[in-house]
Amino acid sequence: MFQFNFGKNYREVPPGGEGEQPQQNRRGKGTGLKYAKRVFLGAVLLMLAVFLAGSCWYTIQEEEQAVVCTFGTPKAVTEPGLHFKIPLVQTVTKVNTTIQGLSVGYDDELQYTEDAMMITSDYNFIRVDFYAEYRISDPVKALYASEDPVRVLDNIAQNCIRTTIGSYTVDAVLTTGKNEIQANIRDMIMEKLEAYDIGIQLVSITIQDAQPPTAEVIEAFKAVETAKQGKDTALNNANKYRNEQIPQAEAEADRILQDAEAEKESRINEAEGQAARFNSMYEEYVKYPAITRQRMFYEAMEDVLPDMKVIIEGGDGSQVQQLLPLEPFSGAGATESGNTGTGTAEVTENGQ
């Protein structure tokens, strides 16, 4: 073997001599270093391949949408499931599209904030808090049309709430005007969101609570509310009583009218019967005036003197007498009549 020394003459080294062992050590070290570099490079390439393979896919859940940006151009992906993207070229941002809540006028600990203090049209201070529900309708506009669309919605809601509350009296805000106030605020917010076009949509907004700012005013308003409830209760009871009594009165009026009609018909029929009887009597009177007068006289005497005994004597002077009413000639009636000396009237044929 030959060993070369730069700048010196080479010399022959015998096998197993002093120069062979260092040369072999240097070769072993060089081979191990190259192997280590290859292993490291392979591991780096494998990790890079795994990273690139993992970044080629993304998943969209049911309650979200994705915005894929390719060289600065965004595009919405709405279909849930597994999707492909180009690594290092496309970026994916996921947006929650479910209904979310926003509190206005109170914090997470359910305490009033400064935003809850408002003034009504009759210059009364009042604390009102709201709860709004919203959802992302356009994920691209929600990400790029504004820096914080939820903050924009909060500012719009506060502006619309103060404008609406300022046009109502304190009584309306606390009692009867809540539904109307909620509807007006909702319409105003939706109109402004449509004009701003920031990709967010209002679902609903409701009044959580409305109270005066001090305890004394709260008690006064509670007393007023109690009085109004008492008034409503009294009106309801009065209406209930009226609704119960009116049908009874109408039924009683109908009964009285029916009785009156029946009495009217009865009187008319009776009058017509008496008129017919009088007409028949008059026809008989025209035929036999004297006999009719006598009969009418006897009937009148029977009605006027029902307990009197009327004796009629014949006009020819005969001794035959007639008793009205006729009584039996024997028995208790005859004995009683014989013993009784009063209650008898003697009437001649001429009614004397």
pLDDT classification of 32: cutoffs 50, 70, 90: low
- Please, which residues have CB within 8 angstroms of residue 289's CB and are 6 or more apart in sequence? none
Statement: residue 236 has pLDDT above 80: yes
Statement: residue 320 has pLDDT above 80: no
Q: Computed from CA positions of residues 282, 286, 287, 288, in that sequence, does the dihedral angle turn out positive or negative?
A: positive
CA distances from 307 to 113, 338, 342 (A): 107, 15, 11
2-24 pLDDT, tens digit each: 444 444 444 444 444 444 455 55
- Please give the average per-residue pLDDT across 208-219, as a whole number: 79
Select from 281, 276, 314 the least CA-distant residue to 299.
281
- What whole-number distance in Å separates Cα of residue 100 and Cα of residue 88? 32
Q: What is the CATH number of domain 99-213?
A: 3.30.479.30
CA distances from 263 to 74, 118, 166, 271, 272 (A): 95, 73, 69, 12, 14
Select from 30, 22, 25 the least CA-distant residue to 3.
22
Q: Could you give the count of Cα atoms lying within 13 Å of 227 in the half-sphere of its Cβ?
A: 6
- What whole-number distance in Å separates Cα of residue 310 and Cα of residue 323? 5
pLDDT value of position 310: 58
DSSP H/E element including 102: strand 100-104
Burial of 158 (0-12, 13-18, 19+ CB in 10 A): middle
| Per-domain residue ranges of the chain | 2-53, 57-95, 99-213, 302-347
Statement: residue 123 has pLDDT above 80: yes
Q: Please, are residues 334 and 328 in contact by the beta-carbon 8 Å criterion?
A: yes
Range with lowest mean pLDDT among 33-37, 222-226, 251-255: 33-37
